[in-house]
Amino acid sequence: MKFLSIPLAASLLLLGAGPAMAQAPAAAASDSHSSHHAAAPAASEQPAAELSEGEITRWDPRTLRVTLKHGEIKNLEMPPMTMVFRVQDAGVVGDLKPGDKVRFRAEKASGTYQVTRIEKAP
């Protein structure tokens, strides 16, 4: 009888400590893993280097299309050229007009190239 009670007591002891022991290594592993990664910057923290340079050659607020003669657009891996971009609304372009030198951010969304941010170059 003593022979059976020792393994039974040991089993109960291990079962009682089991979940706590199983959680401790998992928590430690997730803490150490997350400590190796820096927090991702928020979209509003994009550096000015993310903006491309160009010149507005045409702006049509009716069709929400702006034509830009631009330099390299690094985030799109696009060489310098002149092309038409869409904008979500006329407020994106604001009071900018053809001939204005600008800095802008372009993205590819739904198969079209869109200007998501544009400002007059200093």
CA 66/CA 68 separation, integer angstroms: 6
Q: Which long-range contacts (CB under 8 A, 24 or more apart) does 18-23 make?
A: none
Q: What is the pLDDT of residues 91-117, one digit of tens each?
A: 999 999 999 999 999 999 989 999 999
Q: Which residues contact 82 (CB under 8 A, 6 or more apart)?
A: 57, 67, 68, 69, 70
Q: What is the pLDDT of residues 53-86, one digit of tens each?
A: 999 999 999 999 999 999 999 999 999 999 999 9
Asked if residue 104 lies in contact with residue 118, where contact means CB atoms within 8 angstroms, the answer is yes
Give the global pTM.
0.61
